[in-house]
């Protein structure tokens, strides 16, 4: 932990940073000997001005002090680990510097790749492309869970006119759907009314007595409409369609997943295209060559 005097110094730094902006502050003592460090690890010192860059403009003094304390502790831990490492193993400084440079170049290259991809990425994915990918990769879309399409409603046991739910949930009339939706908005604890949406069955019923059904596959195969209850709620489930795990997923259930796959492939292709273009342009302009014996 920091001493009270150093906390006070940090507080002053944070106030100055908030008031004048970090870019405009330079703390300079008259002599190097007069500088008061915030922390020390062996012969390494950390000074208040070293903390300016970690304090954003507008941060309150209290939050600035807390952030500075965390930074000081992290700094000390890292310095202690480095000291421990250098005492126990031989460190190849040249190799470390090479890795640091490689990492730096990788970061710079990655930032430019992201900029290039964001500027050139086509975000429109046609339905035909999704369908083609689905048909060509069916083995990748085997269900790991049981899924259903249908309606599910959970209402408190004291909700009014619950008998009406039985009629409305099975009706195909638009006016009944609107009435059911209005009822659920007013009284339901949980509901899913759009039967075009595929849902993981176990996730849908996980907080209901239906979660305790021992053989869910047999349950899905034998039941289309279910009512259940416990001490607090009534549960209504209408199953329009189901698919059992280990079968091929319907396209509707994996459409977003396929779209993301296609988008990620485009990003990878764009990054490779950029790398190839930069390389070929450099060769053509004689900006790059390999000297061979």
Does any domain span residue 162?
Answer: yes
- In 3D space, the residue among 105, 101, 121, 122 whose CA is nearest the CA of residue 271 turns out to be 121
Q: Which domain holds residue 202?
A: 143-243
Round to whole Å and give the CA distance between 144 and 149.
Answer: 16
Are 149 and 224 part of one and the same domain? yes
Does any domain span residue 181?
Answer: yes
Average pLDDT of 222-247? 94
Inter-residue contact 48 to 10 (CB < 8 Å): yes
pLDDT band at 111 (very low <50, low <70, confident <90, very high): very high
Are 231 and 154 part of one and the same domain? yes
- In 3D space, the residue among 236, 121, 224 whose CA is nearest the CA of residue 168 turns out to be 236
59-92 pLDDT per residue, tens: 788 888 888 899 999 999 999 998 998 889 888 8
> What pLDDT score does 3 carry?
53
For residue 158, the domain's CATH number is 3.10.50
19-66 pLDDT per residue, tens: 434 333 344 444 445 678 889 999 999 998 888 888 887 878 888 888
Domain end, chosen from 202, 225, 243, is at: 243
Average pLDDT of 273-289? 90
Are 151 and 239 part of one and the same domain? yes
Q: For the chain, how many structural domains are there in total?
A: 2
Domain end, chosen from 223, 243, 263, is at: 243
Q: Which of these ranges, 15-19, 98-102, 225-229, 239-243, has the smallest mean pLDDT?
A: 15-19
Does any domain span residue 100?
Answer: no
Q: What is the mean pLDDT of the chain?
A: 87
Are 84 and 9 part of one and the same domain? yes
Are 82 and 162 part of one and the same domain? no
């Amino acid at each position: 932990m920091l001493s009270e005097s150093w906390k006070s110094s940090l507080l002053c730094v944070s106030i100055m940073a908030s008031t004048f902006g970090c870019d405009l502050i330079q703390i300079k003592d008259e002599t190097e000997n007069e500088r008061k460090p915030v922390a020390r690890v062996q012969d390494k010192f950390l000074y208040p001005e070293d903390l300016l860059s970690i304090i954003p403009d507008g941060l309150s003094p209290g939050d600035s002090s807390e952030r500075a304390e965390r930074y000081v502790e992290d700094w000390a831990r890292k310095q202690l680990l480095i000291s421990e490492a250098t005492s126990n193993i031989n460190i190849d400084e040249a190799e470390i510097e090479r890795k640091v440079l490689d990492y730096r170049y990788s970061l710079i290259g990655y930032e430019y790749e992201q900029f290039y991809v964001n500027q050139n990425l086509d975000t429109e994915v046609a339905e035909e492309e999704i369908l083609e990918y689905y048909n060509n990769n069916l083995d990748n879309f085997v269900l790991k869970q049981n899924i259903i399409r249908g309606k599910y409603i959970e209402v408190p046991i004291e909700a009014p006119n619950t008998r009406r739910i039985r009629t409305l949930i099975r009706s195909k009339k638009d006016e009944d759907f609107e009435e059911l939706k209005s009822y659920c908005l007013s009284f339901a604890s949980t509901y899913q009314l759009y039967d075009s949406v595929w849902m993981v069955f176990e996730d849908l019923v996980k907080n209901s007595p239906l979660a305790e059904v021992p053989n869910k596959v047999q349950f899905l195969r034998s039941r289309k409409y279910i009512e259940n209850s416990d001490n607090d709620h009534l549960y209504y489930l209408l199953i329009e369609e189901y698919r059992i795990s280990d079968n091929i997923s319907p396209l509707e259930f994996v459409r977003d997943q396929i779209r993301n796959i296609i988008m990620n492939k485009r990003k990878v292709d764009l990054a490779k295209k950029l790398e190839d273009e930069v390389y070929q342009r450099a060769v053509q302009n004689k900006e790059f060559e390999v000297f061979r014996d």
